[in-house]
Structure 1
Amino acid sequence: MWFRQDLRLRDNPALSFASEQGTIVPLYIADSSCPQPFQLGAASKWWLHHSLQSLDQSLDNKLHCKSGDAQQVILDFVKTHSIQCVVWNRCYEPWQIKRDTQIKQALKEMGVTVKTFNGSLLWEPWEVLKKDQTPYKVFTPYYRNGCLRVQSPRMPSPEPQTLSIDYLQQEDMGVSSLNLLPSINWHTQIDKLWAPGESGASERLSQFLPNHIKQYKSARDIPSLLGTSGLSAHLHFGEISPNQVWFAVLHSVQGNTEQEGVDCYLSELGWREFSYYLLYHFPTLPDKNFSPKFEHFRWRNDPASLKNWQQGQTGIPIIDAGMRELWQTGTMHNRVRMLVGSFLVKNLLIEWQQGAAWFWDCLLDADLASNSASWQWVAGTGADAAPYFRIFNPVTQGQKFDSRGDYIRKYCPELNDLPDKYIHNPWDAPAEVLTSAKVRLGKDYPAPIVDLKLSRQRALDTFKEKEIPLQPIG
């Protein structure tokens, strides 16, 4: 049983099949053949380390951990121990599809049976097509007319009643040997916030249901509230399946999808599916603009502004709060993700790939499909994307969704004493208000690195193949 992004015992189709065949050798491989751009970021490695430890405990410390070229490791393993069957749950990243196809062919040539399963999606990407048999490019028709009408998601299966595991001590290097934990001690706060692993995923879901789901539609946009499920990293590493979440939600409301918040939440699971769907049908999604009209767009090369954005030092409070939340917690509220993305791509005119790369390294829930599709959405370059001229105003967005500045004050404490009226736009505060709040712009807190109005117009003009100079606020 080759574990990958399915680090759980419950509702694990490949594991269930394997348990019915006989004795299992559970194996996890840190694959050195992974292309450099898709190697795990530091935050994801931290999560994976703890998730593997949790899985190992669930398997009575009999998980075999190895590193190296996955194909070579598996072929050597099969030859050495006369393995008759290899099973896994499918992955959908382009490089993994290519690798898995090669491994499957090599095993079959050796006379080894190979069985693969869907353990991470509600619908297989090739099962949902338009009437002309081409893939959807717009979310709502994909989800409403495609997914929901193709077939109902598979019911989740229980944990296998019996697991007969053959533990080969000489083949187990141990989780620690994979060197996933960071050498710099930046994760002490994250350690206290998250519980990677199958039990942590179940606990997080039980905290969300049944009460928070009812307020999900409205509460999900308020960054100071715990209005979302917080399951994205658990889903990415497969500590819980989308099928488990889907049916748990339905069970919590007795199947009443009309209830406010329920349909909205299920459609967000649908957006996750759409991201994988796009990645499968359009494998250049992680690095190439989905919309060809952006191929010659004139992005700016501005390392200084990029660094200000990464470090939460832009002088725009809601943007800085979001980027600091990312660094301190390994995640970021979804509404704020849209704001920081729009600010980078449109107000700073820095290409979305730079933002996607930073998120990939810093997010605990870094997921190639979701990261790529969502960045292309906010940049206006993707499938069913927000139009490029939709440029979020971080001040008005902050006033709407963080009206009292609770979220900003949590991550930008130097602004704590500013009145609510100016917490989103301290540059507009009178001198005496700033003095009273002990805020010196440019010293205690950065002055804005761009003028929001001028940078918005510059983005629109650049989109029309014009460009105007940008003047920062003094």
Structure 2
Amino acid sequence: MNEQRPIIVWFRRDLRLSDHAALTAACASNAPVIAVFIRDPLVDRLGAAPKWRLGQGLAALESRLAEMGAKLILRSGPALDTLLALLAETGAQGVYWSRLYDPESVARDTDIKAQLRAQGVEARSFGGHVMFEPWSVQTKTGGMYKVYTPFWRSVKDRSVDAPRSAPPTLCAPETWPQSERLADWHLGAAMRRGALIVARHAQVGESAALDRLAEFIEDDVADYVQMRDIPSKRGTSGLSENLALGEISPHQCWHAGMRALHEGKAGAEVFLKELVWREFAYHLMHHSPHILTSNWKPDWDKFAWYTDAAHPEVIAWQQGRTGVKFADAAMRELYVTGKMHNRGRMIVASYLSKHLLTHWRIGQAWFEECLTDWDPASNAMGWQWAAGSGPDASPYFRVFNPDTQLDKFDPKGFYVKRWIAEGQSDPPETALSYYEAIPESWNLTARDIYPSPARDLAAGRQRALDAYQNRGF
């Protein structure tokens, strides 16, 4: 290791300085460290909301590095070409990065590692985006887990690496390479006017994520079991947007949850199970990457999904104008906050894929465009769970009734009133913000009459069951 030649740390979905194995290793070498983010084709293909949120996260990382006297170097172009150019400019001896697990990233990173090593450049990848590497968890017969509960039992007592502290300083190179300007990337352009609304609800950056975790553990985790299904309450951690971009690590969340469990906060165990549910999604994506693009269960390829994304009922679903209040409130929450309560996600996914018999891929793509906490593994697994086509999925005969779900989880209508303005004489700001966030082309106002349901829920459920049974399910 040459202490004079720098090491490039290639940031991706790990926008933090603490518990960052690649950064820690680079700093331990005593070599100068150059932090780099590359806007490559995979970044350019992000949906509107995830790309906007990425821009916010990069700005926070830039500020954090500046506080330490360092810089975040921004470059655009194919990742390999960009790294080779930076190596030539800086004389760097190595490139370190945190592993990703979606098939496109794996293919890109595998090629880059081989190309760099062939040129004598040290290329190292590190864990950190998941707690348990997907190849490290196997059934007794050596295969992948296809059901969550056995997966949980397999990993719940495993040791999880303790989080690493952020480096106190970063050794700077003699000369910084040129950087593009984040503002010139216009990562929020596709969000248009919605960005200003969603920004009010985002908690961006590593410091905000750590504060959010601490607050959750202190105030909310004890009641997590009772409160996490109540959409009108702050009953969840809210950390999904931070985990998606690696502004906090799952290891940090796990150890905080374990401390809470040992302190007698019973809800902490279910919080830990939710972290492992996220792990399960990543392991499924690693072992069966087709989960991202096609039915995980091949039998579902025979099912005659509707695939018209421009159908009026699908458009009404997208706009939160189905007349089904739980589904509509959840979709409106999405446009205002960039996120959606997990109970709402189950309802809107079940309604689209079962009551409307519309292909889950249409819903998956819409969430990919609209969620600031978009995550490829969790989004795919969640949609296939709701549709019934995925591993450990909701059974085909389980068709959520949005009205009875609303009676159970929002009996006094607080959630609906928060997000649906029509019919209220004095609607709250949250409900009115929906009209500020949505595309102007939708031409909707709070003065509109709230629609009646286009489809009877009981009849829709029976139609779905008949369709499944006729296909031999």
Say whether the fold is shared (TM-score over 0.5): yes
Question: Which aligned pairs between 1:164-243 and structure 2 lie closer than 5 A?
Answer: 164-166=171-173, 169-182=176-189, 184-243=192-251
Mapped partners of 1:202, 1:211: distance in 2: 14
Identity %: 41
Mapped partners of 1:398, 1:390: distance in 2: 16
Mapped partners of 1:198, 1:167: distance in 2: 27
Aligned to 2:287: 281
Q: 1:17 to 1:457 in 2, by over 3 A?
A: same
* Alignment partner of 1:324 is 2:324: no
Aligned to 2:58: 52
AA paired with 2:304?
R
Correspondent of 1:351 among 353, 359, 362: 359
Shift of residue 378, structure 1, vs aligned partner: 0.6
Shift of residue 169, structure 1, vs aligned partner: 4.9
Shift of residue 417, structure 1, vs aligned partner: 7.0
Aligned to 2:47: 41
Shift of residue 287, structure 1, vs aligned partner: 1.1
Q: Is the 8 A contact 1:66 1:178 kept in 2?
A: no
Q: Is the 8 A contact 2:422 2:448 kept in 1?
A: no
Q: 1:259 to 1:170 in 2, by over 3 A?
A: closer
Mapped partners of 1:50, 1:346: distance in 2: 36
Shift of residue 100, structure 1, vs aligned partner: 0.2
* Alignment partner of 1:128 is 2:137: yes
SS at match of 1:225: coil
Q: Is the 8 A contact 1:25 1:167 kept in 2?
A: no
AA paired with 2:92?
I
SS at match of 1:106: helix
AA paired with 1:47?
R
Mapped partners of 1:415, 1:320: distance in 2: 14
Mapped partners of 1:377, 1:35: distance in 2: 27
AA paired with 1:453?
A
SS at match of 2:200: helix
Mapped partners of 1:357, 1:167: distance in 2: 45
Q: Is the 8 A contact 2:198 2:335 kept in 1?
A: no
Mapped partners of 2:183, 2:40: distance in 1: 15
Aligned to 2:444: none
Mapped partners of 1:354, 1:342: distance in 2: 13
AA paired with 1:246?
W
Mapped partners of 1:365, 1:80: distance in 2: 35
Q: Is the 8 A contact 1:29 1:67 kept in 2?
A: yes
Aligned to 2:300: 294
**What root-mean-square deviation, in Å, do the aligned CA atoms of Structure 1 and Structure 2 show?**
1.8
Aligned to 2:385: 377
AA paired with 2:195?
H
Aligned to 2:399: 391
SS at match of 2:304: coil
Q: TM-score, normalised by structure 1?
A: 0.89
Mapped partners of 2:218, 2:271: distance in 1: 12
Mapped partners of 1:177, 1:98: distance in 2: 29
* Alignment partner of 1:338 is 2:318: no
Correspondent of 1:158 among 165, 168, 182: 165
Q: TM-score, normalised by structure 2?
A: 0.89
Aligned length: 437
AA paired with 1:382?
G
Aligned to 1:79: 88
SS at match of 1:27: strand
Mapped partners of 1:327, 1:443: distance in 2: 18
Q: Is the 8 A contact 1:84 1:113 kept in 2?
A: yes
Mapped partners of 2:414, 2:378: distance in 1: 28
SS at match of 2:123: strand
* Alignment partner of 1:263 is 2:274: no
Q: Is the 8 A contact 1:315 1:445 kept in 2?
A: yes
Which sections of structure 1, spanning at least 5 residues, go unmatched? 419-441, 468-474
Shift of residue 192, structure 1, vs aligned partner: 1.5
Q: Deviations over 1:96-124 (max 9, x none)?
A: 00000000000000001112110111111
Q: 1:62 to 1:466 in 2, by over 3 A?
A: closer
Q: Deviations over 1:413-451 (max 9, x none)?
A: 224479xxxxxxxxxxxxxxxxxxxxxxx9611111111
